Amino acid sequence: MDRRRFLSRVTIGLTAAMAGLVGVPIVGFLIAPLFEREQDTYVAVGDLTRFAAGTTTLVNFEDPSPLAWAGQTAKTALWVRRAGEEPVFQVFNVNCTHLGCPVDWRADAHLFLCPCHGGVYYADGTVAGGPPPRPLTQREWRADGRKLMVKTQRLPGSGGGAP
């Protein structure tokens, strides 16, 4: 084999190896969502007695994330509204549905207010006024013994379907 043919084959081999090194992660990224199944994970956010009937309470917790590097983004909050004496709750994400700013609960007015662009929500999370396109996002919940459990959500961009 002459030198030219040898160098040509080495070049083709190295090019194929580099294409494989670059291509395998890309293909894996593209097909991984087809094989992922989101599991129902619930996190305890407090004792049922912590939430008095007819009140809305801010709850801080760490939302478990499938991303090892989630860090501070996994620290979040929820608004928990207990409608009556029975354990009937509405659990809202703290973020406005307009641009994601955290909403404040005004107990005297029975409204959620967004300080960024003036979004207003009624106590049940429906839009009262301003730019929000839809009601506050609600989380699934369940009562497990004496604890209020809230279904976790994956972080956006982690392959999950966070609304």
Residue type at 93 in one-letter notation: N
- Residue 39 has, within 13 A of its CA and on its CB side, a CA count of 6
Question: What was the pLDDT predicted at 14?
Answer: 96
Could you tell me the pTM of the whole model? 0.67
Residue 38: per-residue pLDDT? 58
Whole-number pLDDT of residue 163: 40
Res 6: pLDDT: 94
- d(CA 107, CA 113) in angstroms, rounded, equals 11
DSSP 158: T
Mean pLDDT, each 10-residue run in order, the chain (163 residues): 93 95 88 69 85 88 69 80 84 88 91 91 91 90 88 56 40
Residue reference for tokens 């699934």: 140
Q: Do 130 and 118 meet the contact criterion of CB atoms below 8 Å apart?
A: yes
Q: What are the counts of helices (DSSP H) followed by strands (DSSP E) for the chain? A: 1, 11
Q: Cα 94 from chain centroid?
A: 11
